[in-house]
Amino acid sequence: MAESTAGIDSLGDLRGKRVLVRSDLNVPLDGTTITDDGRIRASVPTIRQLSDAGARVVVTAHLGRPKGAPDPAYSLEPVAGRLSELLGRPVAFATDTVGASASETVTGLEDGDVALLENVRFNDGETSKDDDVRGAFADQLAQLADAFVSDGFGVVHRKQASVYDVALRLPSAMGGLVAAEVDVLRRLTEEPERPYVVVLGGSKVSDKLGVIDNLIDKADKLLIGGGMVFTFLKAQGHEVGKSLLEADQLDTCTRYLEEAADRGVEILLPTDVVVDTAFPSGDREPQPTVVPASEIPADALGLDIGPESAAAFAAALADARTVFWNGPMGVFETDAFASGTRAVAQALTEVTTSGGLSVVGGGDSAAAVRQLGFDEAAFGHISTGGGASLEFLEGKELPGIAVLERG
């Protein structure tokens, strides 16, 4: 925490100052009901720190992918209500990003007050690829503040107005959430404590290519599940039925298997899988069947790793001192196909209990942890940015971090 506090402290005395905070409040909604408030809760400490320091806090964030224009389905108004509940103080809500409502709302703030601007992606300047268009919008955002704090880790891999360009226009600092994320991810790439195990799942091998490339010479073990595993199984010569398959990645998977063997890195693939003849949907009752990974029927698709594989994955994690996990092992949203993901999550909690570092890499993995009822405190770190954490581990420069480090 010392590092994160020093970041904001570098801005000096903030009492009476307007501080624009870029948070990640991109939460799932069912209508206007927030179904997972994890990212809001993660954003609270930095907002509270600034408010307690007497700053006039102006929070900007996005929700979903509106097309650069207002869309009620993506309004942040429900988020303002939940943020207010978590902070225990009112949160003023501006109904636009840089217009009359934003100006009036910010002008009305007293020391310690908090405001939330409407979805920043309602303005097409936020995500524009044109530097001038994006910069013009950043100019308008900057006029609302005296300083900027970057605290939305889930967007630091985006070169966007409220993430990158604003930091060029105002005295800027890294918020506590971003600082903590960067610190943990550096521990995964710079001399991690061993044994170091990486667990990858999710649907596509192509989403994880950079991570595998960068970590295959750093990890001791690589455990692979989820939809991406079927391309690996196919590369080994197994039939995978109707399972998800990226035929254009077969040679890549073969290369990874050979490279791991050459480097002495163990790649562990499932020996059994849970299959069904259809993807879970509607009122259809799931009909799960466990089969050997080498004997998937032609009319079936794999939807989870099997119990034998779940036990093997847990055993492979038992002595780990450092674990990074990104991507569920199966379709965890359906209980019949959640056991593999549950087993991996449970194994990570045991790594934490034994004094190791367990990191859940955001996105669907973080959602799975919460949906399956695990105590978030049982994990060493749950990232708020799936895409950002992957790009960091790929060794890529993250624009929202680079701009702060360059000062």
What DSSP string runs through 164-204? Answer: IIGGGTS-EEE-HHHHHHHHHHHHHHSS--SSEEEEE-SS-
Using an 8 Å Cβ cutoff, are 250 and 234 in contact? yes
pLDDT tier at 282, thresholds 50, 70, 90: confident
Cα 181 to Cα 406: distance, rounded to the nearest angstrom: 18
pLDDT of 5 strictly over 70: no
Alpha carbon distance 103, 95 (integer Å):
10
In angstroms, the CA 133 to CA 139 distance is: 10
Q: Which stretches within 237-379 are classed as H helix?
A: 250-263, 307-317, 339-353, 363-371
- In tens, the pLDDT along 324-351 reads 999 999 999 999 999 999 999 999 999 9
Is the pLDDT confidence value at 307 over 50? yes
Output the pLDDT for position 183.
93
Q: Among residues 208, 206, 177, 207, which one has the least CA distance to residue 198?
A: 208
Mean pLDDT of the chain: 94
Residues that constitute the known binding site for ATP: 208, 302, 333, 362-365
The model's confidence at residue 363, banded by pLDDT at 50, 70 and 90, is: confident
The Cα 216–Cα 230 span in angstroms is 19
Active site residues: 39, 204, 363, 387
- The overall pTM is greater than 0.85: yes
Locate 342 and state its tokens. 């549950």
Q: Among residues 291, 317, 316, 294, which one has the least CA distance to residue 304?
A: 291
**What is the rounded CA–CA span in Å between residue 109 and residue 112?**
8
Mean pLDDT value across residues 102-109: 98
pLDDT at 362 over 80: no
Q: What mean pLDDT is predicted for residues 18-34? A: 96
What is the DSSP annotation of 83-100?
A: HHHHHTS-EEE-SSSSSH
- Mean pLDDT is lowest, of 135-149, 179-193, 264-278, for 179-193
pLDDT tens for each residue of 162-219 = 999 999 999 999 999 999 999 999 999 898 999 999 999 998 888 888 889 989 989 9
Range 227-251 average pLDDT: 96
DSSP at 68: S
User: What does DSSP say about strands 172-174 and 147-150: parallel, antiparallel, or unpaired?
Assistant: parallel
Annotated binding residues for substrate, written as ranges, equal: 24-26, 39, 62-65, 121, 158
What is the pLDDT at residue 2? 30
DSSP H or E run through 19: strand 18-22
Strand-pairing partners, residue 18, are: 56
Q: How confident is the model at residue 98 (pLDDT cuts 50, 70, 90)?
A: very high
Nearest residue to 51 via CA among 8, 1, 105, 99: 8
The answer to whether residue 1 scores a pLDDT higher than 60 is no
Identity (one letter) of the amino acid at 37?
D
> Distance between alpha carbon 80 and the CA centroid of its chain, in Å?
21
Using the predicted structure, report yes or no on whether residue 275 has a pLDDT greater than 70. Answer: yes
Read off the pLDDT of each residue in 395-406 and give the average, rounded to a whole number: 92
How many CB atoms are located within 10 Å of the residue 85 CB?
12
Q: What is the pLDDT of residue 6?
A: 44
Give how far Cα 226 sits from Cα of 28, 45, 391, Å. Answer: 22, 34, 20
Q: Is the distance from CB of 268 to CB of 223 less than 8 angstroms?
A: yes
Where residue 80 falls among pLDDT bands split at 50, 70, 90?
very high
> How many other CB atoms are there within 10 angstroms of residue 383's CB atom?
26
Give Cα 365 distance to the centre of its chain.
Answer: 8
376 vs 407, which has greater pLDDT? 376
Give the closest residue to 269 by CA, choosing from 301, 232, 234, 235. Answer: 232
Given this model, what pLDDT does residue 385 score?
A: 84
Under DSSP, the state recorded for 1 is -
pLDDT given for residue 289 in this prediction: 98
Q: In this prediction, what percent of the chain has a pLDDT beyond 70?
A: 98
- What the block records as the tokens of 323 is 């674990």
The pLDDT tens digits for 288-298 are: 999 999 999 99
Closest CA to 58 of 99, 10, 112, 12: 112
